[in-house]
Amino acid sequence: MKKVALIFPGQGSQTVGMGRELYDTNPTARAIFDQAEQVIPGLLDVIFNGPEDKLKETAYCQPAIVTVSVAALKAFEQSEQYSTVTPVFACGHSLGELSALVACGALSFEAVINLVQKRAACMQKAAEANPGKMAAVIGVEASVLLDICRDNGSEVANFNSLDQIVITGAADKVDATCKVLEAQGARVIPLAVSGGFHSSLMKSAADEFQIYVDQTDFAMPKFPLLCNVDATPTTDISEIKFNLPKQIYSSVFWVDTIQTIVSAGVTDFIEIGPGTVLKGLLRKIDKSLSVQNIRTPEDIAAIQNS
């Protein structure tokens, strides 16, 4: 059996109608959707019918992505194709880390959907109290970008690939940083988000979310999770519970995460959930990596042909 790492997308991967085919054809996936609907009434209508602006709202976006991701995961797990692979690592990009916790067996979906609802509320509350913004930067080395951020008071949200880094923080400080970067020839893309996520502006959200994490029962993971905040494989429950809230205001070390997995001899990845954002990032990190996506029943069937 082939050793694989299971990876899960975060906010920004959502599209109206995502997961519909899984819901219509797979009873296991449908059960996950129905469970999420019981916790957040109206969620399925937003997922399947939109409108897009409503799906982008943090309160709907975060649980929607996790629901679709876990539905695809559970459909995959009960398929014949699952027996052809051996998951040895799990990780997720920001929000996707919660989906990864289900994949490695640390949390049930019931626990996760409740945590995601709380996480979204905490982050939205912090965003309203401490307005911020984010922007993707392409074409600047990390060391140079870090210096510019420090000089202008902004922070780094995501180290997404070798040439794509996302900056975050207070709106005026991000704007000042962007002006300097553009003057140096960088490509800057403002992101349509409701706050300065993964910055110190989110510390109050993390503190509040920590309370809910502490109240949640975690199980010993079946295989290691790589947390965003340190890119280090772990099965230590106390460490995972410490890192999960911290992630909200810390940088996402995605490049280091992928390189850690590769250094352990794993070069096959399965991205589970909506979109193909992570596949694109992995190709930028290392073109030799193999990445398959699971979004539909057809994607699951294709796994055996890899």
**pLDDT score at 83:** 92
**pLDDT score at 193:** 84
Domain 2-125+199-305 belongs to what topology? Answer: Malonyl-Coenzyme A Acyl Carrier Protein; domain 2 (3.40.366)
Q: What is the pLDDT of residues 106-145, one digit of tens each?
A: 999 999 999 999 999 999 999 999 999 999 999 998 999 9
C-beta of residue 20 within 8 angstroms of C-beta of residue 67? no
94 is catalytic: yes
Quote the mean pLDDT of the chain: 96
**pLDDT score at 92:** 98
Q: Which of 13, 79, 94, 194 is catalytic?
A: 94
Give me the mean pLDDT over the 204-223 stretch.
97
Q: What is the pLDDT of residues 230-247, one digit of tens each?
A: 999 999 999 999 999 999
- The alpha carbon torsion through 180, 143, 13, 31 (nearest 10 deg) reads -150
> In 3-state terms, the chain is what percent helix, strand and coil (to 5)?
55, 20, 30
Q: What is the pLDDT of residues 34-68, one digit of tens each?
A: 999 999 999 999 999 999 999 999 999 999 999 99
Give me the mean pLDDT over the 237-262 stretch.
97
Kindly list the domain boundaries of the chain, sorted by start residue: 2-125+199-305, 132-190
Residue-wise DSSP of 43-59: HHHHHHH--HHHHHSHH
**pLDDT score at 305:** 54
Q: What is the pTM of this model?
A: 0.96
| Cis peptide upstream of residue 224 (ω within 30 degrees of 0) | no
**pLDDT score at 240:** 97
Separation CA 97–CA 15 (nearest Å) = 19
Q: Which of 69, 154, 161, 198 is catalytic?
A: 198
Domain 132-190 belongs to what topology? Answer: Alpha-Beta Plaits (3.30.70)
Q: What is the pLDDT of residues 147-192, one digit of tens each?
A: 999 999 999 999 999 889 999 999 999 999 999 999 999 999 999 8
pLDDT at 73 over 70: yes
**pLDDT score at 304:** 61
251 is catalytic: no
pLDDT at 26 over 80: yes
Q: Would you call 77 exposed, middle or buried from its count of C-beta atoms within 10 A (0-12, 13-18, 19+)?
A: middle
Q: How many CB atoms lie within 10 A of CB 211?
A: 11
